[in-house]
Amino acid sequence: MIPNQWYPILETKEVGNDKPVGVRRMGENLVLWRDLDGNLVCQGARCPHKGANLGDGRMKGNTIECPYHGLRYGTDGACKAIPALGTGARIPASLRVPVHPVREAHGLVWLWWGDQRAELPDVQIAPEVADNPLLHWTMHWPRPVHYTRYIESVLEFYHITFVHRDHWFNYIDYALLYGTPRKFGLDGRERYLSATKVANSRFETDGQTLRYSFDGQDENDPANSSHYDVTFTFPCQVHIKNDQFEVTSWLSPIDEHNTEHILRWYEYPNAKPFLRSPSLRLLLPRLSLYMEKWIQDIQDVRVMEGQEPKVTGRGVNKFIQVDELNAKYVAMRDRLIQEARAGAAAPAAAERTPVAPSAAGVPGVLPGGRAAAPAEPKPRRGGGKGTAVTAVRKTG
Ligand code: FES
Ligand SMILES: [Fe+2]
């Protein structure tokens, strides 16, 4: 994982006031809960007493109670009560859980995975997502693939006519998105499958955001063409806009072998004028999410599971000209990891404190014996307070 970044891990609505939520992200088991004022707390879920998972525990006032022997931990991570020793017992200072900085923004919980700093940077969200006025629905699910391969797959579209074809669901896409009214949509399959060429591509870099636009075109019939705008924001946000649909994917690392795909689907602009109530306008996006989860995403994952090596990186692929966005992602990920490593090697003593290594990290050698792009340094625990979330503004 790239250290010193905000990672979206869950939807905010999933963490209520009644019980803690256990989740595995960044190679660690975490527990999320809310204090009595509703503030979100995120801590390492391993109870230091005998290792039970606090995600299975209960909330008690401003503490979380371990499900095994009832030790309770406060929002600062320190143990506040040991029932077996009774009230007033001396509590060892070492009985504490790590506290991770979290923010809530745009319907998601963001986890800071990086160095401890007095001031944390803003969450990076491109305006295509932050300022999007369309109604949307969000779902998420885990898949057994490395997040770099997942991102690589979502950043390019010329696989779609090969991977996403001939399933019954694709016939809905064929007819509605690619078919012409002149032929009552019946020419959709042919038009979809023949638009294999990437044309008119444009690329720009804007801080931690990469923008790429192109037309998916039929070489023999350039009028059969769909325009796409793809906006990638590090560490893991991909926004895709087409005349017909708009989606945002967050590929959130669970660990070195698994990724949580958080997918947001926006209302269909073409259906908006006909549908009055918000719940009706959200019906199609919700349906699309189910279709994506159970059909199209599974088709992608099937291919990714067969890929070698499992982690993408510099020198791993033989990119072709239309892999500009993939190549830039790989190069910039390397750079960000190296920057984090350089920062870790020369800590500003006042602001950085070492902590025990986390379980997360990337192996230095990729399957197949090749050296991986720089091994990802393990971040030291964050703890500082940061400023508000801002959108990355588009320039130029
Ligand atoms: S393991 Fe948590 S209280 Fe014993
Ligand atoms: Fe795909």
357 band by pLDDT with thresholds 50, 70 and 90: very low
Distance CA 63, CA 65 (A): 6
Mutate to test the pocket of ligand 1, among 46, 60, 64, 69 (most ligand atoms within 8 A of CB): 69
Tokens representing 388 are 């508000």
Distance CA 240, CA 158 (A): 14
Ligand 1 centroid to Cα of residue 1, in Å, is 30
Map residue 161 onto helix, strand or coil: helix
Give the distance from CA 5 to its chain's centroid.
11
356 band by pLDDT with thresholds 50, 70 and 90: very low
For residues 286 and 219, membership in a common domain is answered with yes
- Residues 79-136 have pLDDT tens digits of 999 999 999 899 999 999 999 999 999 999 999 999 988 899 999 999 999 999 999 9
For residues 140 and 155, membership in a common domain is answered with yes
Contact by Cβ (8 Å): 29, 37 = no
For residues 92 and 216, membership in a common domain is answered with no
Q: Which residue has the higher pLDDT, 73 or 385?
A: 73
Judged against a pLDDT cut of 80, whether residue 3 lies above it is answered with yes
CATH number of domain containing 294:
3.30.530.20
For residues 107 and 130, membership in a common domain is answered with no
- Let me know if residue 389 belongs to a domain: no
Q: Give yes or no for residue 183 CB within 6 A of ligand 1.
A: no
What is the residue-averaged pLDDT of the chain? 88
- Let me know if residue 338 belongs to a domain: no
End-to-end C-alpha distance for the chain, whole angstroms: 30
For residues 98 and 191, membership in a common domain is answered with no
For residues 86 and 150, membership in a common domain is answered with no
- Let me know if residue 392 belongs to a domain: no
175 band by pLDDT with thresholds 50, 70 and 90: confident
Judged against a pLDDT cut of 80, whether residue 348 lies above it is answered with no
Mean pLDDT of 138-144: 98
- Let me know if residue 376 belongs to a domain: no
Nearest-CA residue for atom 1 of ligand 1:
50
Mean pLDDT of 225-251: 96
Map residue 203 onto helix, strand or coil: strand
- Residues 290-338 have pLDDT tens digits of 999 999 999 999 999 999 999 999 999 999 999 999 999 999 999 999 9
Q: Which atom of ligand 1 is nearest to the CA of 47?
A: 2
- Let me know if residue 104 belongs to a domain: yes
CATH number of domain containing 57:
2.102.10.10
Ligand 1 centroid to Cα of residue 380, in Å, is 25
> Is pTM beyond 0.75 here?
yes
Beta strands 79-81; 390-391: pairing state:
unpaired
Quick check: bond before 235 cis, omega within 30? Answer: yes
Lowest mean pLDDT among 130-144, 170-184, 313-327, 355-369: 355-369
Mutate to test the pocket of ligand 1, among 31, 71, 80 (most ligand atoms within 8 A of CB): 71
Mutate to test the pocket of ligand 1, among 31, 46, 47, 65 (most ligand atoms within 8 A of CB): 47
- Let me know if residue 378 belongs to a domain: no
Q: Give yes or no for residue 49 CB within 6 A of ligand 1.
A: yes
DSSP 274-342: G--SHHHHHHHHHHHHHHIIIIIHHHHHHHHHT-SSSS--TTTS---GGGHHHHHHHHHHHHHHHHHHH
Of the candidates 323, 354, 387, which is a domain's last residue? 323
Judged against a pLDDT cut of 60, whether residue 386 lies above it is answered with no
Q: Give yes or no for residue 10 CB within 6 A of ligand 1.
A: no
Mean pLDDT of 176-191: 89
Of the candidates 107, 123, 139, which is a domain's last residue? 123
For residues 163 and 302, membership in a common domain is answered with yes
- Let me know if residue 269 belongs to a domain: yes
Cα 175 to Cα 187, 268, 293, distances in angstroms: 7, 16, 20
For residues 161 and 305, membership in a common domain is answered with yes
Ligand 1 centroid to Cα of residue 57, in Å, is 10
Q: Quick one: which ligand is closest to 152's CA?
A: 2
Q: Give yes or no for residue 344 CB within 6 A of ligand 1.
A: no
Sign of CA dihedral 304, 305, 307, 309: positive
Q: Give yes or no for residue 68 CB within 6 A of ligand 1.
A: yes
Q: Give yes or no for residue 2 CB within 6 A of ligand 1.
A: no
Contact by Cβ (8 Å): 361, 380 = no
- Residues 51-70 have pLDDT tens digits of 999 999 999 999 999 999 99
For residues 314 and 190, membership in a common domain is answered with yes
**Domain span at residue 309?**
125-323
Of the candidates 323, 347, 369, which is a domain's last residue? 323
Long-range pairs for 86-90 at CB < 8 Å and ≥24 separation?
none
Ligand 1 centroid to Cα of residue 104, in Å, is 29
Q: Give yes or no for residue 66 CB within 6 A of ligand 1.
A: yes
Q: Which pLDDT does position 218 carry in this prediction?
A: 96
Q: Give yes or no for residue 83 CB within 6 A of ligand 1.
A: no
Q: Give yes or no for residue 82 CB within 6 A of ligand 1.
A: no
Ligand 1 centroid to Cα of residue 70, in Å, is 6
For residues 145 and 257, membership in a common domain is answered with yes
For residues 139 and 117, membership in a common domain is answered with no
For residues 183 and 219, membership in a common domain is answered with yes
Tokens representing 51 are 């290792």
- Let me know if residue 382 belongs to a domain: no
- Count the domains in the chain: 2
Distance CA 151, CA 153 (A): 5
Q: What share of the chain is helix, strand, coil (3-state, %, to 5)?
A: 25, 30, 45
Beta bridge partners of 261: 141, 251
Q: Give yes or no for residue 47 CB within 6 A of ligand 1.
A: yes
Nearest-CA residue for atom 4 of ligand 1:
69
Nearest-CA residue for atom 3 of ligand 1:
69
Beta bridge partners of 43: 31, 99
